[in-house]
Amino acid sequence: MEFAIRGLAGAQVDDCDHTLTYVTHEQTTRLTTITPPPGVHPQPGSSVDVLAFPEVPRWHLDAFPSYRQYGLIDRMGNVEELIRKMAQHFAERND
């Protein structure tokens, strides 16, 4: 992942050395450590933005070609929408 930092000039950014990370509810997943230089503290307006999002290489290789054009954020939004529709479908059938 790439990060943009505002308001912490000279901050050291150390990305985690993950080649494969499983994210679960049982543990915290550290993406990066941001260390400001001595004497520099976050100010109002300081921020960290994610510029690039991770991709899942195996998924990308195995995906149907027309679906590969969509990035991870679009795919996750699509999954969330499908899950919402399925939950709604089952809730309506349960009544």
Residue-wise pLDDT tens digits, 10-47: 777 676 665 556 666 777 777 777 777 788 777 777 77
Q: What is the pLDDT of residue 16?
A: 66
pTM of the full predicted structure?
A: 0.41
Angle at 33 between CA 32 and CA 36, to 5 degrees: 140
Segment (H or E) for 89? helix 72-94
Predicted local confidence at residue 87, as pLDDT:
94
What is the rounded CA–CA span in Å between residue 20 and residue 1?
A: 13
How far lies 71's CA from each of 7, 33, 54, in Å?
29, 25, 9
What pLDDT does residue 38 have? 82
pLDDT tens figures, 43-87: 777 777 776 666 777 777 888 888 888 877 788 888 899 999 999
- The pLDDT assigned to 20 comes to 59
Residue 80 confidence (pLDDT): 93
